[in-house]
Amino acid sequence: MMHIMIVGAGSLGLLFAAKLSECSHRLTIVTRTKDQAQALQEHGIVLDGTRMAARNIVVESFEDGQAGSGGDPDFIFLMVKQTAITDELIAGVKSLMAAKTVLVCFQNGIGHEQRLGSAVGSDKLLLAVTTEAARKEGSNAVSHTGKGITYIGAIEAAGHEPVPEGLQILLTDLMEKAGVSAEMSKNMVMRIWTKLLINAVINPLTAILRVKNGDLLRSPSTIALMRDLFDEAMLLAAAKQISLPEDLWETIQHVCKATARNHSSMLQDVMLKRNTEIDSMNGSLLRLAEALQIELPIHRTVYRLVKALEE
């Protein structure tokens, strides 16, 4: 029996846990707080208003010191926001890993892969990029607001062999059986940058303007702002010699339409007075541009506006 551990019970963590709970595999959910762990233990996971059959699920939390009692996971899905990846969290995740464990990282943006690869080794690390959309409705409840696809692949690092393809295929097959569309990718750099540009164009504008994703397409002015952000990011990608899909601008508009009624995660963070992921999105683009002496004035402006909203 395969043992999957999910670290982080936010919207996507709960969604994937609910889907995987319907399989016959062993599942451990590690929450940040004892209160959420207790809610999941007592009430299970509610997906789209329906309580899932909580077969083979163990719930633990970092807060009460239980995390780690689940033992010997085959895969750990790290499903916290990049802002939550502190040295303390990395140490905690490492303590959960057995010799056979592979860490699968679902973070947006860039930068986390180097930190985690250095900590656990690239031969123990897979990156995941998902277009699944979910909204957390409570400690143990989640709505699946948009069906997407999840790409999974290894990273290359000098002196380290990547995770074997056989394990990657095993994982994607497992997710498919759980009802999550998944594909193995041999070009995760392109996948990561594609998701980064989509987020860096849509999320900050929704947060600044306090609008849903689809509202960005209602005004010529917001469409022009989106295009400015996109063009600047594409200049940087070209300078970094990163190949991106030719239809990426059309994809960004399609994402806005497909998630028209959604509040972006950045808008939700601003509304709830939490720190956003702006540093790992537009901020990461600005850091790369600065190293190459490239100016991204529109990205810098939206970055500063979101930081002002945080403060």
pLDDT in tens, 248-272: 999 999 999 988 988 899 999 999 9
Q: Does residue 99 share a domain with residue 125? A: yes
Q: Does residue 206 share a domain with residue 118? A: no
Q: Does residue 258 share a domain with residue 196? A: yes
* Structural domain of 147: 3-186
Measure the CA–CA gap between 261 and 283, rounded to whole angstroms: 26
Measure the CA–CA gap between 308 and 197, rounded to whole angstroms: 22
Among candidate residues 135, 167, 186, the one where a domain is terminated:
186
CATH code: domain of residue 31: 3.40.50.720
Measure the CA–CA gap between 225 and 222, rounded to whole angstroms: 5
pLDDT band (50, 70, 90) for residue 83: confident
Instruction: Please report, rounded to a whole number, the percentage of residues in the chain having pLDDT higher than 70.
Output: 95
Report how many domains make up the chain.
2
Residue 63 scores a pLDDT above 90:
no
Q: Does residue 193 share a domain with residue 140? A: no
Highest mean pLDDT among 22-26, 61-65, 161-165, 216-220: 216-220
CATH code: domain of residue 289: 1.10.1040.10
Alpha-carbon distances of 185 from 16, 169, 172, 190, 283, rounded to whole Å: 19, 10, 10, 10, 26
Whole-number pLDDT of residue 305: 98
Residue 161 scores a pLDDT above 80:
no
Among candidate residues 161, 186, 211, the one where a domain is terminated:
186
Measure the CA–CA gap between 307 and 186, rounded to whole angstroms: 35
At 48, give phi and psi (nearest 5°): 50, 40
Among candidate residues 152, 186, 220, the one where a domain is terminated:
186
Residue 97 scores a pLDDT above 70:
yes
Q: Does residue 295 share a domain with residue 213? A: yes
Residue 37 scores a pLDDT above 80:
yes
Whole-number pLDDT of residue 146: 84
Q: Does residue 148 share a domain with residue 101? A: yes
Measure the CA–CA gap between 293 and 8, rounded to whole angstroms: 37
Mean pLDDT in residue range 18-32? 87
Mean pLDDT in residue range 132-148? 90
Q: Does residue 163 share a domain with residue 72? A: yes
Q: Does residue 251 share a domain with residue 177? A: no
Chain mean pLDDT for the chain = 91
pLDDT digits (tens, 9 = 90+) for 273-296: 999 999 999 999 999 999 999 999
Q: Does residue 223 share a domain with residue 117? A: no
Q: Does residue 281 share a domain with residue 148? A: no
pTM: 0.89
Whole-number pLDDT of residue 157: 61
Whole-number pLDDT of residue 160: 63
Q: Does residue 262 share a domain with residue 128? A: no
Whole-number pLDDT of residue 158: 54
Q: Does residue 137 share a domain with residue 234? A: no
pLDDT digits (tens, 9 = 90+) for 181-238: 999 999 999 999 999 999 999 999 999 999 999 999 999 999 999 999 999 999 999 9
